[in-house]
Structure 1
């Protein structure tokens, strides 16, 4: 039976098995991350806006006769958490995420990505299952601590995926493989919003059920991951010799079994790395603002019902997924056909993925209470962020396949800062949940996207950096050491000659 299973698995390229499983892994990670953004609208007691509110302050509640999808439809929960407290709850995840991002990347570089990613998803799943119990006993404080621990568990997941892809993806397939694996984020966002809305609406248990469903799915994925996926082609029991040889030939130039000490000085003084960090922070601000706070905008300002909220909030993420897949195939074709350099492809994808959302997000705020137009602007604008995947998402692998885990962790960790600040800023800037308050948030988002994409457009690079080669760095350090020693000897000899001359 095992031999039959092995023959069946060997017929499928194992790099694509790993890619699809990685996609499902990221899907689980993001469903567990995003479901709170929708669930919290049902956990918190609703406060009705003032009857004096005009169209510039708050949208009127749609009545049942005029619309079947927009209504207040829910009495809300029982927890008395103000906007500031909700902002702290939603941002607490990213404090933990920030702490473990770089250590997780270094662990993935050293020990491989399989167990680093698997354990991250498993721990998050267990914590997801515990969420209703913790909230019931400890309310906001317990939820903040638990979300922090979930962030700690997930900090290593994206670096681990990067390390795996560095070992499994030939350069000419890199954009496609990275995008397919990373698209699990968008699939998770779609499921985490659409499915959550229906689970909360139709489950007798209400909002706790979403945490049980996603936690259970995460544990099932972990069992499949242990069986099907491995850190490197050399140790995979199901891979064909032809695929193993092909991957070895395609990746050997820039990947080595022994990478040597991490070249921290070279990494931290590299202009392309800092351009990548800037691009990631801009993308993360826009993405996390939508990820964590768009459900609140749909609920508190546009007054959508919980099931409509889940469905409509998922639309931008569905478009991100489609745009990411299409732009990644186009990016690989442009590079392989010699139509555009790898550097220019990364720049065009990232800059376009910033400027289009920057325009449409602000436009959505001026649509005011026109729900159809607001949703259309959000969907089109945020959807264009999909081109970030063949842009900044794959760029760490371009710069350094050998240290891709560490580099991705640095970049991803900087993005986590945006994940901390965006929900917190929304909580501070929108205490009354009015249209004018949210317009300020959207203008800030636009300014950040424009500024960070400009930095990336000037200084980004798509080629392997010299410090990717451990031997080159070691020789460079040795030469520097020798030069310093020679200079010191020259100084001492000059001093000795001068002393003899004086005598």
Structure 2
């Protein structure tokens, strides 16, 4: 049965002509402190927790191993940040070793430990997205946050026990974190009015950028002041609080929420009355495999995430090796582009909803325009980094500008699946996660190979390759991309696998 009839039954204050009382609608739409925005903020905190727990080991592992090597020699540029002296470096290492244990892990073992969180990511997104679409996001998202947070608290103990246990914990933690990222998209099919969805998703997704900022700014400081184990205790504890908050304040449907006002509930349900309901147990796999718009989105996501993973993995390395920054300065500079990206992604969500609500642009045009801006305007700044590397301020300005324009992709192709198949958004988000995790395993390895093979032009080649791949994905998307609900995603479609 269609949800249209269910909505009509539950909305008691809709007039006979099918329209809401306009005073209630306007009041509800203006309410930035409404329940739906509260849920977006809670999801922001959940995404923040997941990201910080994901990155905690990356930040802590230099302090967890017995590092005796000194940083590379300083650059001749007089504009760069100060370099850690030999005495300061040795003193720092003594402080770290005094506050927390260190382990004799070889680089190969460290690589296995760091990558273990992705071992289950190739198999988890699709089933977790499917389960969230069927049973709802409350328990999928909430359980994922809780499991990941509790396991984060046990990582210091696991490190004392042995390498095998910490690898197992990281694998399970990665599976739990994937369930959070894939399960949450089904929420906005029930809670997000179409003209506010971009804004709500932007708020929720900005939690990941906030997580990058905070972990880069505080991780190194925590390691050098109170010990590396507190990274896991602090961010694991924050995640536990977020999971309890989520279970306490989230309801699958607006009508079941204990604190929602009548005006907001009626506004949300009436705005969603024309959309199809949840998919049930069947998913049109054959139709999805034949859908060109869906494949274009997946290919473009693969291309977009190539550059994203390169920057996430190698930005601190670039700043440390090319700009010769010390550890604390490197963390601050690495976080700077994400600070601006966080601010602009929220503003861009407002802009997208404004253009759509005023009917200035069609949704399909908005998605393609934002994606084109995200690719074409950010690429020149990355390509120019090789020629401005002698100027630290210019280099960081280019990284910031690239991050600002790249954030447009968050409101472009990266959420396009919610437009073409809202009924199957959790399942398709899981599929897209497979593609993003796949490129996450490939792009850093390829970039590392290019850097190691050519010390002079390696970084230039990395940025050229990521830009070329990005533009190829954009071309496919501009030509074949769509933002209309596909026939196979409509409620009256009976073709099933």
| TM-score, scaled relative to structure 2 | 0.84
Taking a change above 3 Å as real, the CA distance of residues 36 and 335 of structure 1, as seen in their structure-2 partners, is: same
Match of 1:184 among 207, 219, 222: 207
Unaligned 5+ segments in structure 2 are: 1-30, 94-101
Give the aligned partner of residue 114 of structure 1: 138
Cα distance, 1:381 vs structure 2: 0.9
- CA distance in 1 between partners of 2:140 and 2:479 (Å): 34
Unaligned 5+ segments in structure 1 are: 1-9, 50-57, 479-503
Taking a change above 3 Å as real, the CA distance of residues 348 and 46 of structure 1, as seen in their structure-2 partners, is: farther
- CA distance in 2 between partners of 1:142 and 1:70 (Å): 37
Q: Secondary structure at the match of 2:213?
A: helix
Question: Residues 88 and 424 of structure 1 are in contact (CA less than 8 Å); yes or no, is this contact kept in structure 2?
Answer: no
Cα distance, 1:234 vs structure 2: 2.5
Taking a change above 3 Å as real, the CA distance of residues 470 and 255 of structure 1, as seen in their structure-2 partners, is: closer
Q: Secondary structure at the match of 1:230?
A: coil
Cα distance, 1:282 vs structure 2: 2.0
Q: Secondary structure at the match of 1:97?
A: coil
Match of 1:131 among 142, 155, 158: 155
Cα distance, 1:361 vs structure 2: 2.0
Taking a change above 3 Å as real, the CA distance of residues 259 and 341 of structure 1, as seen in their structure-2 partners, is: same
User: 446-455 vs 216-225, which deviates more?
Assistant: 446-455
CA deviations 1:351-383 (Å, max 9, x no partner) are: 221223322223223333433222222221123
User: 460-469 vs 105-114, which deviates more?
Assistant: 460-469
Verify: 1:341 aligned to 2:362, yes or no.
Answer: yes
Match of 2:196 among 152, 161, 173: 173
Cα distance, 1:255 vs structure 2: 3.2
Give the aligned partner of residue 152 of structure 1: 175
- CA distance in 2 between partners of 1:185 and 1:319 (Å): 13
Match of 2:220 among 185, 193, 197: 197
- CA distance in 1 between partners of 2:76 and 2:62 (Å): 18
- CA distance in 2 between partners of 1:438 and 1:447 (Å): 14
Taking a change above 3 Å as real, the CA distance of residues 297 and 144 of structure 1, as seen in their structure-2 partners, is: farther
Cα distance, 1:414 vs structure 2: 0.9
Give the aligned partner of residue 163 of structure 1: 186
Verify: 1:60 aligned to 2:60, yes or no.
Answer: no
Q: Secondary structure at the match of 2:417?
A: helix
Question: Residues 104 and 160 of structure 1 are in contact (CA less than 8 Å); yes or no, is this contact kept in structure 2?
Answer: yes
Give the aligned partner of residue 381 of structure 1: 402
Taking a change above 3 Å as real, the CA distance of residues 257 and 105 of structure 1, as seen in their structure-2 partners, is: closer
Cα distance, 1:298 vs structure 2: 2.5
Cα distance, 1:424 vs structure 2: 2.9
Q: Secondary structure at the match of 2:422?
A: coil
| TM-score, scaled relative to structure 1 | 0.83
Cα distance, 1:409 vs structure 2: 1.0
Q: Once superposed, which parts of structure 1, at least 4 consecutive aligned residues long, lie more than 6 Å away?
A: none
Q: Secondary structure at the match of 2:376?
A: helix
Aligned length: 454
Q: Which has the larger radius of gyration?
A: 1
Question: Residues 197 and 308 of structure 1 are in contact (CA less than 8 Å); yes or no, is this contact kept in structure 2?
Answer: no
- CA distance in 1 between partners of 2:147 and 2:496 (Å): 40
Question: Residues 104 and 409 of structure 1 are in contact (CA less than 8 Å); yes or no, is this contact kept in structure 2?
Answer: yes
Verify: 1:226 aligned to 2:256, yes or no.
Answer: no
Give the aligned partner of residue 278 of structure 1: 299
